[in-house]
Structure 1
Amino acid sequence: MKLHLLDRSTKLSNTSFLIRNNRYPNLLKIWHYHPELELVVILKSSGTRFIGDNIEKFNEGEIVLIGKNLPHMWLNDKEYFEKDSKLEAQAISIHFNENFAGDAFFNLPEMSSIEKLLIRAQSGIRFIGDLKLVINWIKELETLMKFDKLMKFFQILNFLANHQEYKLLSSIGFVNSFKKTGRNNLVDVYEYIIKNFKDKITLDDVASIACMNPTAFSRVFKRVNRKTFSEYLNEVRIGYACKLLMEEKYNISEICFESGFNNISNFNRQFKKTTNYSPTQYIKTHLSGS
């Protein structure tokens, strides 16, 4: 899974923000990043969302705000790639630079909540709860003229800034490592984990990618991520397992091995440690709408 830089600077040269209503048989299957922030609304389709080192299931109606230079990808379920599929994926994306309103605009007292929102977006934010109103506002953007469109966008950002139900997605360690240089040895490690977490990954494997000895790597990794490498890897695997559980296509034993664990007892133990639920409790709780 190679990481791509997508450049939208030319398209943003004569507008404050760029709106696209994408309708395709499936969403863009590219692990990528860009210097612009991105606000995404999924109108149709389902699958797996990758934001930094976070892996979760996505469905219709979700809104996600992604900070600048944070790697991400939406991967539709396999049904969307079948030859005779009649399914459609639709998403509205809004790209904008963090200073699109001017370097000092968000320093105004009245803009403090939006400024904090853009800071939180460095980890990626998934908004939760009743979002019907703001989704309608986002749909409306395409129909408005320049000034009204800009005012409506500020209204959308203000709504999200004051919306209390949300989840931060990527870990601080991933974000900080990527921010330092845009590409460094730890970022290569994260990419390797995201690509290969279903397979066996050893400390020696990732230390070699980071061009460090295992002891030094363990020390640096724990300092950056505030958790050991094995804890980090287990959390990525459990995140993917949660996605599979929500799909209800596999039994728990199958999900254990599909997620990269080699025995069910360790899978159950790590699942409870990460989510505070057993796999069975997780299914009952989340499918009941709790």
Structure 2
Amino acid sequence: LNHKEYYEGREDLYSEIIVLNFDDQQPGFEFLRLNEFRHIRKMLSLASQGILFYGKTQRVTFSLLRNMVLLKDADRFIALLRLLNFLSRSHEYRLICSSALRQRREEEDNERLSKVYQYINLHFNEDISEEKVAAHIGMNPSSFSRYFKARTYKNFSAFLNEVRISRAASMILENKLPVAEIAYLCGYKTLSNFNRQFKKIMHKTPVEYRQSYYNQIEK
């Protein structure tokens, strides 16, 4: 919280903030639906009300977050799961907002965002534009752009690329179609752009990704 003493000329005061953003509704987090993650699901369902952790939980969480900053790739993701599991088991918390406010916000946002996800999943292989999706849910493009980024912490093009590359990665492992054909089936007009986006998200080229999978099978 931006209390006045932190910005009214007091040089002896300071704060350290670590922000961790993720959306459990995005592709890749489907495993949270498993029964083993029920405690995490319950906690995440309360997060829209704002959860304030205190006591030992707060101190341990701060330490875990600071360590997570130093990690990369799979190690960071595993650390995220450990943190969520730790928080979901804690009783040292209180909710900031009322359940009535939470319900009202969920009713307004969930249906709209669900329509966006459904549209993208159905048309990811087509020429999707931000304008088309905005029109689909009855918003003007500029308002939709702000809304989408506020809800997903990503711009629309980045999210669309993640959906397309996720589908492409599955196709690369599930069949022997040429990479160029998979790129086209996932909505990319040029192979060079597909290769660039794939490596950016998966940290490997499509060919390297497929080969590493076959190498693991042969071991």
TM-score bracket, shorter-length normalisation:
0.5 to 0.7
Alignment correspondent of 1:218: 145
**2:200 is the counterpart of 1:276:** no
**What is the TM-score when the length of structure 2 is the normalising length?**
0.54
In structure 1, C-alpha distance between the alignment counterparts of 2:173 and 2:147, rounded to whole Å: 35
Alignment correspondent of 1:14: none
Alignment correspondent of 2:119: 192
Alignment correspondent of 1:36: none
The Cα of 1:285 is off from its aligned counterpart by: 1.8
In structure 1, C-alpha distance between the alignment counterparts of 2:40 and 2:132, rounded to whole Å: 38
The Cα of 1:185 is off from its aligned counterpart by: 1.8
**2:177 is the counterpart of 1:253:** no
Output the aligned Cα RMSD. Answer: 3.6
The Cα of 1:269 is off from its aligned counterpart by: 0.8
**What is the TM-score when the length of structure 1 is the normalising length?**
0.42
- Kept in 2, the 8 Å contact 1:65–1:121? The answer is no
In structure 1, C-alpha distance between the alignment counterparts of 2:132 and 2:199, rounded to whole Å: 27
**2:147 is the counterpart of 1:180:** no
Point out the structure with the larger helix share. 2
In structure 1, C-alpha distance between the alignment counterparts of 2:119 and 2:190, rounded to whole Å: 23
**2:68 is the counterpart of 1:115:** no
Structure 2's unaligned 5+ residue stretches are 1-23, 47-77, 82-101
1:189-220 residue CA offsets vs partner (Å, 9 max, x unmatched): 11100111111111110111221111111111
In structure 2, C-alpha distance between the alignment counterparts of 1:248 and 1:166, rounded to whole Å: 32
User: Cα gap change, 1:117/1:203 in structure 2, threshold over 3 Å: closer, same or farther?
Assistant: closer
Larger Rg: 2
- Kept in 2, the 8 Å contact 1:221–1:227? The answer is yes
Structure with larger RCO (C-alpha < 8 A, sep 6+): 1
User: Cα gap change, 1:244/1:262 in structure 2, threshold over 3 Å: closer, same or farther?
Assistant: same
Alignment correspondent of 1:264: 191
Alignment correspondent of 2:214: 287
Give the number of aligned pairs: 140
Point out the structure with the larger strand share. 1
User: Which of 52, 57, 66 lines up with 2:33 in the alignment?
Assistant: 66
1:29-63 residue CA offsets vs partner (Å, 9 max, x unmatched): xxxxxxxxxxxxxxxxxxxxxx954279xxxxxx9
Structure 1's unaligned 5+ residue stretches are 1-50, 57-62, 68-93, 97-112, 123-163, 168-175
User: Which of 209, 227, 241 lines up with 2:136 in the alignment?
Assistant: 209
Percent identity for Structure 1 against Structure 2: 31
